[in-house]
Amino acid sequence: MAHEHHGAVIVGAGFAGLYLLHRLRGLGIPAICLEAADDVGGTWYWNRYPGARCDVESMQYSFSFSEELQQEWHWSERFAAQPEILAYARHVAERYDLRRDIRFETRVTDAAWDDAARVWNIATNRGEKLAARYFFMATGCLSAARLPDIPGIADFKGRQFHTGYWPHHKVDFTGRRVAVIGTGSSAIQSIPVIAEQAAQLTVFQRTPNFSIPSRNRPMDDEYEQGWKRDYASLRQKARMMRTGILYGLSDTPAMSVSAEERKAEYEKRWAVGGTAFMGSFRDLLLDQAANDTAADFVRSKIRETVKDPATAERLCPRNHPIGTKRICVDTQYYETYNRPNVTLIDLHEAPITRITTSGIEAGGVAHEFDDIVFATGFDAMTGALLGVDIKGRAGESLNAKWEAGPRTLVGIMTAGFPNMFMITGPGSPSVLSNMIVSIEQHVDWIMDCLAHMQAKGQVTIEADRGAEDSWVEEVNTVANRTLYPRAASWYMGANVPGKPRLFMPYVGGVGNYRVLCDEVAADGYRGFHFGGVERPAAAAE
Ligand code: NA7
């Protein structure tokens, strides 16, 4: 079959894909977006589990590229729930007439660089063959859902769900015996909602997580107007923050104040709710003693909240510094364990041996269930990228190149794969940040770069291997200055058996990273090679 020719192919119609499509049109590069789902939204299309909600405040978890868009959209809650965020993604798609260039229910299977033609040849699960000069992987960082390797999963006769791959119809748990496996963010959000419906809910916990109450509430009109009056400058400040989120980040080291002052600060942040708790002191992710004070505080809150002391102890995280696994934000999570219909099973005391036709065997006990909810996470950051068979220059495969871990130059390109861009790829702040801020920064930077190439008549760009090696080292060096590598987290690839263990996101901060990327551009795109001069239009006539 002949190849369809496009200026650019984008994989994924989440926020990154939508914004890319919009911006590429602005540059006059005809693009097509290929999306496995039957609608836009990415993460917010798939993660429809009960209680799914963003842990970044709505006023900040939205696009900033259009003043009209940010003024006209109204968020109904401090932290938006999944249906509202999906409605927002749909609104963006319609407002900018993006759907006409999105091909749904189309999964990209292969992509190979043709060095002679200087194009990417792309194949889909529908047998289509496309060719494009530019290839964008806008596939998200948490999009390859993982079922655990527990024997017998296929034998279970009841209903099974994965939080990251939730059905589109309403799932009713009324009167049912439900198991939830996992206690990450998705479980912590869904457990309180499922517990209200289910006859019995049993939670199987391998690692307890730290969770901060969200204090979610309906949007306050004055608060919304405060943001909208000053959106441009507040957004600008957020872009320079460590996480791309504007909240109070203290400059004070934790141990420089008295225990009473520390407690007062933690109490204040606990009352405000949300991830800003980690901004209580500037060194919580750098200094173990400082971190211990915050972790002790949260453990004390768990003990205060959960009435059964044995359950409270099981829920207290002890094997990682607070914040080194993604901190969770909840609505009534710990309180849920006071309900008579909720039981917690600690897998260290009672490991799961198998799933049977009627339930789960753990610690020699057979538990019977009608439904099992797997809240077991994702092959994070690299899963979706490596899920496509990508071959670069001379047939080098991305899977082979990244066998010992992802290698990128600033998380945007990888050497040997010309004209292939990753949005919020490994080696960039990505999952440690407000994803929409990071998406906009990557797309804007790449668009400036493509405009620069257009102006010079260049058609290829590629990361230099030496520059990439230095960046990989820098990503490691900054991570090793923090407490992050002390946790067996999905940031480290630790949740996937056999995955290389190294800290994948760049921890140097969103603001610093932006400055660094701008310097690279100002320095003539230092570390990138350009090539293949396009014949001027007149000469080509
Ligand atoms: P996470 O944060 O990866 O959580 C997955 C949970 O599932 C976590 O508690 C895991 O325990 C647990 N898990 C994974 N495999 C197993 C097996 N085999 N047995 C028992 N328990 C298991 O995914 P989420 O979907 O909750 O959240 C992902 C991100 O989405 C979140 O951080 C937000 O950014 C949004 P473990 O900790 O590995 O011991």
**pLDDT digits 0-9 by tens, 271-320:** 999 999 999 999 999 999 999 999 999 999 999 999 999 999 999 999 99
Ligand 1 pocket test, candidate residues 46, 82, 186, most atoms within 8 A of CB:
186
The one-letter amino acid at 525: Y
pLDDT value at position 2?
Answer: 66
Strands (E), 220-349: 328-330, 342-346
Residue 234 CA to residue 338 CA, distance in Å, equals 41
CA 152 from chain centre, in angstroms, equals 30
Radius of gyration of the chain (CA): 24
User: Domains in the chain, please, with CATH?
Assistant: 4-144+380-540 (3.50.50.60), 146-209+327-377 (3.50.50.60)
Residue 500 CA to residue 401 CA, distance in Å, equals 13
In the block, tokens 């059964």 appear at 308
Ligand 1 pocket test, candidate residues 61, 188, 346, 495, most atoms within 8 A of CB:
495
User: In DSSP terms, which residues pair with 534 in a beta bridge?
Assistant: none
Asked whether the beta carbons of 114 and 132 are under 8 A apart, the reply is no
CA dihedral 476, 480, 484, 486 (to 10 degrees): 120
**Neighbour-count burial of 175, counting CB atoms closer than 10 A to its CB (0-12 exposed, 13-18 middle, 19+ buried):** exposed
309: its two tokens: 């002391």
Q: What is the pTM of this model?
A: 0.97
pLDDT value at position 3?
Answer: 80
Residue 268: CB partners within 8 Å, gap ≥ 6? none
Q: How far is CA 245 from CA 73, 110, 289, in A?
A: 19, 36, 26
pLDDT value at position 532?
Answer: 83
Closest Cα partner for 204 from 314, 333, 54, 295? 314
Run means of pLDDT, 10 residues per run, the chain, 541 residues: 88 98 98 98 98 98 98 98 98 98 98 97 98 98 94 97 96 98 98 98 98 98 98 97 93 98 98 97 98 98 98 98 97 98 97 98 98 97 97 97 97 98 98 97 98 96 98 97 96 94 96 98 98 57 30
Distance from the CA of 377 to the center of ligand 1, in angstroms? 4
Ligand 1 pocket test, candidate residues 376, 486, 491, most atoms within 8 A of CB:
376
pLDDT value at position 538?
Answer: 41
Atom 33 (ligand 1): residue with closest C-alpha? 185
Atom 35 (ligand 1): residue with closest C-alpha? 185
Handedness of CA 48, 51, 55, 57 (dihedral sign): positive
pLDDT value at position 533?
Answer: 74
